[in-house]
Amino acid sequence: MRQYKVDFLTIVQDGAVKSDCGDITFINRGLGTVTINASLTLGFNQSITLSANAGEIDKTIYTVKFSSPSGRLIVLRKIYTT
């Protein structure tokens, strides 16, 4: 069995998130929308989970852009430790 930890991040300004994980979830908790990689827009309280198959690691660098200064994005990453 592979061990992993769940990493929680809170993003409040435009930037990037390096995945390096098996699964990643984005949850928009801000008042406006958040756009991920210039193509996926999440409204308030919307979320998306991108899951890898067994043994796969996502190496994507996800860019994040908020539509309002009150942005808040929660990111959960499943990171394998062994």
Q: Own/partner pairs for 37-44, CB < 8 Å, 24+ apart?
A: 37/62, 37/63, 38/63, 38/65, 42/73
Residue identified by tokens 């699964």 is: 23
Report the pLDDT value the prediction gives residue 1, as an integer from 0 to 100: 80
pLDDT tens digits along 65-82: 999 999 999 999 999 987
Report the pLDDT value the prediction gives residue 77, as an integer from 0 to 100: 98
Q: Nearest-CA neighbor of 38 among 2, 14, 72?
A: 14
Report the pLDDT value the prediction gives residue 61, as an integer from 0 to 100: 98
Contact between 60 and 74 (Cβ < 8 Å): no
Q: Nearest-CA neighbor of 28 among 50, 58, 48, 51?
A: 48
Amino acid letter for position 3: Q
- pTM tops 0.75: yes
pLDDT tens digits along 1-60: 889 999 999 999 999 999 999 999 999 999 999 999 999 999 999 999 999 998 899 999
